[in-house]
Structure 1
Amino acid sequence: MHGYGGTALLVDLPDLAAVRSLHRVLAADVPTGVVDVVPAARTVLVRCAAPGDVAAARAWVQEALLRSASDVAPPPVGAVVEIPVRYDGPDLDDVARWAGVSTEDVVARHSGREYEAAFGGFAPGFTYLAGVDPVIAAPRLATPRTRVPAGSVALAGELTAVYPGESPGGWRLLGRTDARMFDVDRDPPALVAPGARVRFVPVRAGASAGRPTPGGEPTSAVSDAMPGEGPTVLRQGEATGARPAVEVLATGPLVLVEDDGRPGLAAIGVGPSGAADRSSHALANRLVGNPEDAATLEVTLGGLALRFRGTAVVALAGAAVPAAVDGAPVGMNAPVRVPDGAVLRLGQAVHGLRTYVAVRGGVVPDAVAGSRSRDVLAGLGPDPLVPGVVLPVGAPPSGSWPPVAVAPVRHVPGVLRPGERAGAVLEVIPGPRGDWFLPGAWHALRALRTVSADSDRVALRLDGQAVPRRAGELASEGLVRGAVQIPPDGRPVVFLADRPVTGGYPVIGVLREDDVDRAAQLRPGDRVVLRAAWSS
């Protein structure tokens, strides 16, 4: 059992059967303080709410390991799902060359087997399927793609899967399907649940989504929606009557609704999401008297303009931006009263990336899977804001306001000393896979790096000196916020709020909690140093 950052444990197990056995025992009695239990190919991740919960969780897991060792019952056999595939993927020829066979043989070997749905992860509806023919079990790409289209059918070593929505990914793409793998309004939402059996059916034109019959025999039907498509939950131009609301007039590059996210759903592939910079989100809420989990607006690089319907109290935190209410300047990190009909405008952030706008009462678009957060990887939650959207505002919280005291600001993104260049020193706690790295890896990790233009709410991608690691394939396992993953090309990837639930490259370390917030404020071109937490 390994410590995994400050709030998680990673349990190594010999095989998938042992994973299933331990997960059954753990899932039957989850104690207070444990927020996620995530099974994977040969590990189970236990994520806690706070560092103080880890010791109790460790004892709980150790006791469960003893009980699971005597659990010899085989898992139930699931229904059969057929998934139609157009085998025209960009990596089909590469897999054929790697295997030393024809592309037709790759298709025949991939579609000629029945796969076992082993576990969920990475993203909602992404189910890892075991049973790939060893002849075509090509490894992951050395450098992950920043964009894999929704519906891509892929393999990585002994596993195959379908990408349910557009996302980054390092698997080999063999083809595509129109089957809708995840639908939050469907029961169950995932088309393929762990324990099911899956067959891929080659097709030339059209596509159909497999659906199991009660007797377990395969059947199929035409998908009624495009992969990754979700419900529209914001009300464009909707009248709100006397209810307080904010109307979006302009957005700049990107504005999202974010709250504390969706903890507890990782086992079905739904990540926590939530505000990228938790400290700034929480501070903005405290300044207006909201609970810290109220939904705020996460504004990337400024440019937001809002008209208020009803008198409001707002606060700005995070990346510093010039701001004004009806032309009168207002400051950061302080509550501001906004009259009915007034317009709040944010200029561009000079440094830092994300500004949080809190409104007393919180913005309250429809929740999806228990949260109002937009998860850009999964495509869950309210759509990115566009001009014309009207967001309702919730009732003010009970109690006196202004608050008697507000916790001090722990970091002020974007505030630099004279002559200082944008960047950060981020402290890294050793991760669970130190044995995957060669001598000199930590020295290389500490080299000066630059934030890549491919960075987003999913991950910070860092250019610079390669971190040496051994070759080979790591079985996919759970990820935590701030995990520093090293793909075969040696370029670190630091996972943020909308990270995948699982990943298949080794994690050398995990950022300290506060440093994840600082990482979320870095923009492309900023300089970064990753420093071992024990360094001076």
Structure 2
Amino acid sequence: MVTPPDAAVVLRSMGERAVLAEVADLAAVVRLHAALAADPPGGIDDLVPAARTVLVCFDPARIAAASVRSWIRSAAERPTDDPEPGLLVEVPLRYDGVDLDDTAALLGIPAADLVSRHAAAEWSVAFTGFAPGFAYLVSAHWPFDVPRLDQPRTRVPAGAVGLAAGFTGAYPRETPGGWRLIASTDAVLFDPDATHPVLLPPRARVRFVPERSRVEVPRAPDAPAAPRSATRDAVDSPPAPAPATLARDGGRPALRILDPGAATTVQDLGRPHRAALGVARSGALDRVALRTANRLVGNDEGAAGLEILLGGWHARAETDTWVCVTGAFLEVRVDEVPVDLYAPLLVPAGSELSIGVARLGLRSYLAVRGGVEGAAVMDSRARDSLAGLGPAPLRTGDLVRAGVPASAIPSVDVFPWTVPPSTIDVALAEGPRADWFAPRALATLFAEPWTVSADLDRVGIRLDGPVLERIRPGELPSEGMTPGALQVPPHGRPVVLLADGPVTGGYPVIAVATEAGTSALAQARPGDTVRFRRA
């Protein structure tokens, strides 16, 4: 069946690297997403469908924002064939959720009726988000709009199945959550090492099968194998994860960890092209610092290195090893002899390398010549703290192995760098929901200083300061998010999403930090001041 073009698509800026396309309803989202995914131009990095929007992420070095907007409008204006239904996946459930009886009472029906309606409906995956493999399922046969819990739980177990608004969904791993839990499943919803990592991909059809005993759920054997172009793979149906370049125990021994400090993780430039599966970009928070460290030891800019929180780090060289330390301002020593930051440094075998406690800034980056080796998960060695992807944080005794260098170490007498300031200047580009706020809220955002709170991690940073007044009440349907997005929860103070932040969210985004501004925020410490300016 051919569907007429949608009446209108509203394009909203989402910073310097994304455009949010807003349409009338979820059916229009499915059509627009299918049209965009069918033939994306070069430079399109991700397409993220959500309740009423499709987030289009792009690389401004390869395609102009104006070209992206023109392409979206063209796709929205032409008639399209209705997308083919996806594969059918049967998911066994035990209707044993802690909120089953209360939810049924809230809807004014017996619990048995709620169970039978939920099991009888054929569901489809509208979009994914919140966490890798978390599918938002809808059904034409589901009439209920279920409110979320007033206070989200701090812990929802993996496999819990819940209801919220008109959706149902299953939690792939233990996370906080505010959906009303009516059932549970033992199905593996997300397996990063599988050929198809997500059990319930976009447009899949889902049938829930009530069970009394635990049973195995086979992966659907009829997964579609339609021809794909390399470009389409990048934005619609990502290829299977590539194996690591070297085995888990491969590579040259480089450094033995004697003290990992507060936290040390392996980070590269992350996992692009996976947001439609609910997988965040992740990777180094201060991308500028990691890229610089890699260049100074002759690595590719995206090679994996170590992200060291607050310093206090200590290691021994197993073989002669070239390294470079960038990022936070601190003292680096080899066998108690001070050495320079932002300079290639040879650590002889048997010597000890120590990184002192950060005086300014928060995160240091240590590049090892050849890059940090190890098993890749979905084409990246980055540790995603929210999703639990990638290698675990380093511990005392761990061995860091190095790969093959990309090029010679550059001849650099001095590399220009600055000490991370305690007042951080961040350029902001336009956000898609600025019109949800009073005009004075935008003026306040740029005029007032903001204080970095103690609530900060790799997912985001909460800022303390004046309240940003909203003029539009109500909840925002979930829509795509990017690192650098300034979400404003109901309390009125912004939260800046960082690399491990969720790929969808339900708080309005008033503005988006540039990539340089997001890197600068990676060095923000509790009590530091942030000042925003217009990009």
**Aligned partner of residue 124 in structure 1, secondary structure:** coil
Structure 1 residue 196: Cα displacement: 2.4
Q: TM-score, normalised by structure 2?
A: 0.83
Counterpart AA for 1:272: R
Partner of 2:196: 188
Counterpart AA for 1:455: L
Counterpart AA for 2:527: D
Matching of residue 249 in structure 1 with residue 258 in structure 2:
yes
Partner of 1:365: 374
Partner of 2:431: 431
Structure 1 residue 435: Cα displacement: 3.0
Find the partner of 1:130 among 134, 138, 151: 138
**Aligned partner of residue 18 in structure 1, secondary structure:** helix
**Aligned partner of residue 276 in structure 2, secondary structure:** helix
Answer yes or no: is the 8 Å Cα contact 2:319–2:348 preserved in 1. Answer: yes
Partner of 2:457: 456
Structure 1 residue 158: Cα displacement: 1.6
Q: How does 1:285-364 map to 2 (within 5 A)?
A: 285-364=294-373
Counterpart AA for 1:287: L
Find the partner of 2:491 among 489, 492, 498: 489
**Aligned partner of residue 273 in structure 2, secondary structure:** coil
Find the partner of 1:13 among 23, 46, 67: 23
Q: How many angstroms apart in 1 are the aligned matches of 2:265 and 2:42?
A: 31
Q: How many angstroms apart in 2 are the aligned matches of 1:209 and 1:475?
A: 32
Q: How many angstroms apart in 2 are the aligned matches of 1:168 and 1:282?
A: 33
Find the partner of 1:161 among 145, 169, 192: 169
Q: How many angstroms apart in 2 are the aligned matches of 1:439 and 1:401?
A: 50
Query: Which structure 2 residue ranges, 5 or more long, are not aligned?
Result: 1-10, 225-240
CA gap 1:412/1:84 in 2 versus in 1, 3 angstroms: farther
Q: How many angstroms apart in 2 are the aligned matches of 1:437 and 1:142?
A: 24
Counterpart AA for 1:123: A
Q: How many angstroms apart in 2 are the aligned matches of 1:427 and 1:281?
A: 20
Structure 1 residue 340: Cα displacement: 1.0
Answer yes or no: is the 8 Å Cα contact 1:247–1:388 preserved in 2. Answer: yes
Structure 1 residue 264: Cα displacement: 1.3
Partner of 2:69: 58
Q: How many angstroms apart in 2 are the aligned matches of 1:507 and 1:143?
A: 22
Partner of 2:292: 283
Q: How does 1:62-211 map to 2 (within 5 A)?
A: 62-66=73-77, 69-85=78-94, 87-89=96-98, 95=103, 99=107, 110-111=118-119, 113-131=121-139, 137-140=145-148, 148-167=156-175, 169-174=177-182, 176-200=184-208, 209=217, 211=219
Q: How does 1:18-57 map to 2 (within 5 A)?
A: 18-50=28-60, 53-57=64-68
Q: How many angstroms apart in 1 are the aligned matches of 2:221 and 2:338?
A: 63
Find the partner of 1:412 among 397, 419, 424: 419
Answer yes or no: is the 8 Å Cα contact 1:7–1:53 preserved in 2. Answer: no
Structure 1 residue 388: Cα displacement: 2.2
Q: How many angstroms apart in 2 are the aligned matches of 1:518 and 1:339?
A: 33
The 10-residue stretch of structure 1 (138-147 or 388-397) with the greater mean CA deviation from structure 2: 138-147
Structure 1 residue 70: Cα displacement: 0.9
Counterpart AA for 1:347: G
Find the partner of 2:520 among 487, 496, 518: 518
Structure 1 residue 183: Cα displacement: 0.6
Q: How many angstroms apart in 1 are the aligned matches of 2:102 and 2:453?
A: 27
Partner of 1:507: 509
CA gap 1:318/1:270 in 2 versus in 1, 3 angstroms: same
Counterpart AA for 1:526: G
- Count of aligned positions: 505
Structure 1 residue 295: Cα displacement: 0.9
Q: How many angstroms apart in 2 are the aligned matches of 1:81 and 1:154?
A: 17
Matching of residue 268 in structure 1 with residue 277 in structure 2:
yes
Q: How many angstroms apart in 2 are the aligned matches of 1:462 and 1:61?
A: 34
Counterpart AA for 1:333: Y
The 10-residue stretch of structure 1 (143-152 or 284-293) with the greater mean CA deviation from structure 2: 143-152
Partner of 1:224: none
Q: How many angstroms apart in 1 are the aligned matches of 2:13 and 2:215?
A: 44
Structure 1 residues 488-532: Cα deviation after superposition (integer angstroms, max 9, x where no partner): 333322111112121222211111222111222223x32444535
Counterpart AA for 1:24: A
CA gap 1:177/1:57 in 2 versus in 1, 3 angstroms: same
Counterpart AA for 1:156: A
Structure 1 residues 334-383: Cα deviation after superposition (integer angstroms, max 9, x where no partner): 22210012121222223322110111111111211111111112222222
Structure 1 residues 215-265: Cα deviation after superposition (integer angstroms, max 9, x where no partner): 99xxxxxxxxxxxxx9x999999696xx34222222122111111111112
Answer yes or no: is the 8 Å Cα contact 1:237–1:390 preserved in 2. Answer: no
CA gap 1:237/1:64 in 2 versus in 1, 3 angstroms: closer
Q: TM-score, normalised by structure 1?
A: 0.83
Counterpart AA for 2:351: A
Q: How many angstroms apart in 2 are the aligned matches of 1:238 and 1:214?
A: 35
Identity of aligned residues (%): 46
CA gap 1:252/1:107 in 2 versus in 1, 3 angstroms: farther
Partner of 2:442: 442
CA gap 1:35/1:200 in 2 versus in 1, 3 angstroms: same
Answer yes or no: is the 8 Å Cα contact 2:289–2:326 preserved in 1. Answer: yes
Structure 1 residue 302: Cα displacement: 1.3
CA gap 1:213/1:393 in 2 versus in 1, 3 angstroms: closer
